[in-house]
């Protein structure tokens, strides 16, 4: 059963100025990294693991976390929708407005029996 959507961080980009999906992922990871840097155990499920358990996952820097998230996108570990349309390429242009709804959907493997 799917979990209900959880509100995430508010991203700050200029309205109407095109960005790429890669820019969007970088900003999301940066905000999560900064938000969780002071927390020993964060609630929710980030796209990648952050400072509180970084050693277990080989993450030493923010750039490591960004690289892991971008790799996760390539491996289909998560996908992104913008206004209910899936964005499939990191270099895809996205024009944001104050009403734009961005959804990151993390996929998890099913356990077969």
pLDDT at 88: 96
pLDDT band at 40 (very low <50, low <70, confident <90, very high): very low
Within-domain flag for 59 = yes
Within-domain flag for 8 = no
Within-domain flag for 72 = yes
Instruction: Report which secondary-structure segment, H or E, holds 62.
Output: helix 62-74
Rounded-to-integer distance, Cα 109 and Cα 62, Å: 26
Rounded-to-integer distance, Cα 80 and Cα 25, Å: 9
Q: How many angstroms separate the first and last alpha carbons of the chain?
A: 17
Q: CB-hemisphere CA count at 13 Å for 6?
A: 10
Better pLDDT: 34 or 45: 34
Rounded-to-integer distance, Cα 104 and Cα 5, Å: 10
pLDDT at 4: 66
Residue 26: which domain range? 18-106
- Count the domains in the chain: 1
Within-domain flag for 112 = no
Within-domain flag for 61 = yes
């Amino acid at each position: 059963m799917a979990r209900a959507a959880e509100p995430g961080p508010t991203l700050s980009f200029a309205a109407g100025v095109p960005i790429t999906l890669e820019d969007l992922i970088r900003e999301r990871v940066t905000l999560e990294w900064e938000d969780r840097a002071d927390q020993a155990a964060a609630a929710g499920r980030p796209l990648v693991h952050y400072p509180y358990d970084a050693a277990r996952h080989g993450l030493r820097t923010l750039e490591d976390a960004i690289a892991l998230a971008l790799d996760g996108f390539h491996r289909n570990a998560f996908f992104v929708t913008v206004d209910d349309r899936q964005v499939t390429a990191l270099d895809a242009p996205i024009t944001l407005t104050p009403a734009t709804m961005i959804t990151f959907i993390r996929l998890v493997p099913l356990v077969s029996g």
